Each structure stands twice: as structure tokens, then as C-alpha cells.
Amino acid sequence: MRYQTLALRGFGWLLLAIVLLMALFPPYFMTITAFHPPNLSFSRTPTLFSTDLTLKAFTDLFEKYPYAQWMANTVMVSVASTILSVTVATLAAYSLSRLRYPGRSMLSSSVFFVYLFPATLLFIPIFIVLNNLHMLNWLPSLIAVYLTFSVPFSVWLLKAYFLSIPRELEDASLVDGATRWQSLVLIVLPLATPGIAVACIYSFTLAWNEYLYAFTLLSDQENFTLATGLTKLIFGDVFLWGMIMAGGVLMSAPLLVLYFTAQRYIVSGLAAGAVKG
């Protein structure tokens, strides 16, 4: 028994070590490629470590491509779709978790259903409609389209969060003569701040990462998001790995900062989603 336990422990730790190395290597390799002189990316021996660091790939990226514009577009689309979806979703989630009315449970499960509805099915009709309305290749359309996944996702996440707030607090405020609206704004919302923060982080991330819609709906280079702009670089004739990795570092940085400062919230959000439903 003792040997078995020790062997399993050893195996577990070994596997953890391997997984940690594998988790760290790609981001490390991206960073080192981004900072080493561009000619090294064509060498047969990859540069795994180097002290010869330069910002050449970054300056090239900004000079040769409208990277700053792509970043501005991505920030604009992500922020706008986050604000819109979380606002709308907060109201809907409060309604679905707190108020009683006919059809509530049906509506509640259909939200989840809609979130899992595939973009691969929706992008073609959306493409046709936007084409007919002459609204293709226009960032506000992309913001609206992003609501197709961020609204249902945020409703689902926030609903679970609202359910975890004790109902008694709200009932007490109603007994004291507050209106439903007052109790929502003054009692429930402040308590739900962590949940709302998680919903914002997720909506933002989903929009920041989105590829299929941006890829099909935007055609002019000036309108690209980071996702479409960066991938455009690999489908060219020359692979500009230094620049692509530099772009990757810049695209990852905001999310990494967000995730590691808000890690506690994110883990609890995921746990709420999976554990509490």
C-alpha cells in the first residue's frame, strides 16, 4: 500500500512538472522570438535563449502594418460589446433569478441554449443580411454581432451569481418600503459586483479573441481586429515570425494582466458556472 501511494505521488508530481513546463514553454518561446533579431527566425537552429535582444520586430510591426489601428479597433469593439452585453445581461439575470412569472424556467434554459448555439451556423445568414444592408466591413456591426454570444453567456453566469446572494436582504428592503428597482440598484447590484466583474472579464475576453466573425465580416485592413490582422500575416508569402510573435505578445499582455490580477474572481466565476450551474 505504501509503495503504491508513493509511486502514484511520484507519478503525479512528475506529470505536474511536465505539464508546467509545457504550459510555460510556448509563451516563453513567443517572447524570445519577439525580442531577438528578426534574421534569427530563419535559422535552422531555433534561438531558445539569447541576450541579443532588440525591439526591431515591434517597431517593424508598427511601421509596416496598421497595428496601432488594429489594437484600437479591438479595444473599441471589446469594450463596447462588454458594456452593452453586461448591462443588458445584468437586468435579465436579475429577472430570471429573482422574480417569479410564467415562463421563467423555459426562458432561463433557452438562454443557455442560445449561448451554445454555434457561430458556424449563424455567420452565413449574418453575412448575407449585413451585406444587403451595406453594413459589412463596419465595426459597429461587429459589436452587435458579438452580443450574440456575450449576452447569453453573461446572463447565464450572472444568474448563477445572483442566486448565491441571500434573498432575505432584498426581502428586508422590500418590507422597509423600497421598490423592486431600488432594491435591485441599492442592495443586489453592490453585492453582485464580483459577479459582474467576472462577466465583464469574460465578455471582454470573448470579444478580444473572436476570430470567425471578424474574419468573415471585415475586409479592409484598416478595420481589422488584432485577431484578423495578426493571422493575415501568416497567410502572406513570407512568414514574419518575429513580427507575428511581437504582435502576439502585445495582444496577450492585456489579458494576462487582467487574468492574473483578477485570478481569484475568475476561478470563482468558473467554479460558480460549473459547480453551482
Partner 1 sequence: MAIRVGEALRARAPAIRIRRSLARDEAFFGYVLLLPAAILIVVLVGVPFLNALWLSFHRKLLGAQDAPWIGLQNYLTLLSDATFWQAVRNTFVFTVGSIGAKVVIGLIIALVLNEAIPLRGLWRSITMLPYAMPTLVSVLVWKWMYNDVAGVFNYLVGHQVLWLGDPNIAMPAVIAVNVWRGFPFFVITFLAGLQTVPQELYDAAKVDGAGVWARFRHVSFPGILPIVAVTTLFSAILTFNDFSIIWILTQGGPGNATNVLATLTYKIAIPGLELGKGVAVSVLMLPILVLLILLLTRFVSRREELA
Residue 259: CB minimum distance to partner 1, A: 4
Residue 193: CB minimum distance to partner 1, A: 18
DSSP 172-237: HHHHTT--HHHIIIIIIHHHHHHHHHHHHHHHHHHHHH--HHHHHH--SGGG--HHHHHHHHHTSS
Residue 234: CB minimum distance to partner 1, A: 7
Residue 101: CB minimum distance to partner 1, A: 4
The answer to whether 107 and 175 have CB atoms below 8 angstroms apart is no
Residue 55: CB minimum distance to partner 1, A: 19
Question: With respect to partner 1, which residue has the nearer C-beta, 24 or 186?
Answer: 24
Residue type, 228: T
The answer to whether 162 and 192 have CB atoms below 8 angstroms apart is yes
Question: With respect to partner 1, which residue has the nearer C-beta, 179 or 193?
Answer: 179
Question: With respect to partner 1, which residue has the nearer C-beta, 6 or 169?
Answer: 6
Question: With respect to partner 1, which residue has the nearer C-beta, 26 or 140?
Answer: 26
**52: three-class secondary structure by DSSP:** coil
Question: With respect to partner 1, which residue has the nearer C-beta, 63 or 274?
Answer: 274
The Cα–Cα gap between 122 and 124 comes to 6
- Grid coordinates given for 256: 494576462
